[in-house]
Amino acid sequence: QVKLQQSGAELVKPGASVKLSCKTSGYTFSTSYMSWFKQIPGQSIEWIGMIYAGDGGTGYNQKFKGKATLTVDTSSSTAYMDLSSLTTEDSAVYFCARLDTMGPKANWFAYWGQGTLVTVSS
Amino acid sequence: DIQMTQSPASLSASLGETVTIECLASEDIYSNLAWYQQKPGKSPQLLIYYANSLNDGVPSRFSGSGSGTQYSLKINSLQSEDVSIYFCQQNYDSPYTFGAGTKLELK
């Protein structure tokens, strides 16, 4: 079955960068789309961007351009998100989610990772 | 960006009751709307997509309706396991946007 396993919680200092991972299994990663989302605890969810694993093509929410960089490693079926120049406003839970591309749920996010908590603190 | 206005922000209901959550889009999203359930410390779970299609494994007491800019999620015969936060999300246009969420509690 489809699984998205995210990396563990991170405690990082302001100004630093962090790379989150989302290791997938149970489907053909190389022809899939993966999105990333940000959720500050107790608040709503924001879409950061999406990457197509086939060619690494990306699309970003303008709000996160320059903050987030999405990449993939098809050999390990893993998606990554780099967050740079971190501030306390980047403290949040970050989720990866696969975009369904076939069937009735095409264009929806039916499979999500468990989330990674990033805490930015000195 | 398309704004999604969700109401109410919180809701208290009794077991067995029927509850309705509303989502208003700032422009016509042509039924490109999903509803998610999120429990504390967990990832969002897709309940409804394309406004009224029930995801696999979701109990039939959940239903979605609406068109244009107005959408709703109805939960019939509320169960204790339905206590959660519910979000609407549009994917008609990028960036995909979510409502602020509705916290559903038991009375």
- What's the pLDDT score for residue B11? 96
DSSP string, A21-61: EEEEESS-GGG-EEEEEEE-TTS-EEEEEEEETTT--EEE-
What is the percentage of chain B residues whose pLDDT exceeds 90?
100
Q: Tell me the average pLDDT across A19-37.
A: 97
Q: Which residues of A touch B34 (CB under 8 A)?
A: 108-109
- What's the pLDDT score for residue A102? 87
Residues of chain B under the 70 pLDDT cut: none
Give the whole-angstrom CA distance, residue B22 versus residue B72.
Answer: 4
Pick from B46, B49, B98: CB nearest A44: B98
List, for residues B9-29, the tens digit of each pLDDT value: 999 999 999 999 999 999 999
The DSSP bridge pattern shows strands A68-73 and A58-60 to be unpaired
Asked if the peptide bond before residue A14 counts as cis, ω within 30 degrees of 0, the response is no
A16 vs chain B: nearest CA distance in angstroms? 26
In chain B, whose CA is at the least distance from the CA of A43?
B100
Q: Is A112 on the interface with B (CB under 8 A)?
A: yes
Q: Do A45 and B87 touch (CB under 8 A)?
A: yes
Give the count of alpha carbons within 13 A of A76, CB side only. 10
**How sure is the predictor about A4, in pLDDT bands with cuts at 50, 70 and 90?**
very high
Q: Taking a contact as any Cβ pair under 8 Å apart, which residues of chain B between 29 and 58 contact chain A?
A: 32, 34, 42-46, 49-50, 53, 55
List, for residues A51-91, the tens digit of each pLDDT value: 999 999 999 999 999 999 999 999 999 999 999 999 999 99
Q: Do B99 and A44 touch (CB under 8 A)?
A: yes
Q: Is B90 on the interface with A (CB under 8 A)?
A: no
Tokens in use for A34? 């993966």
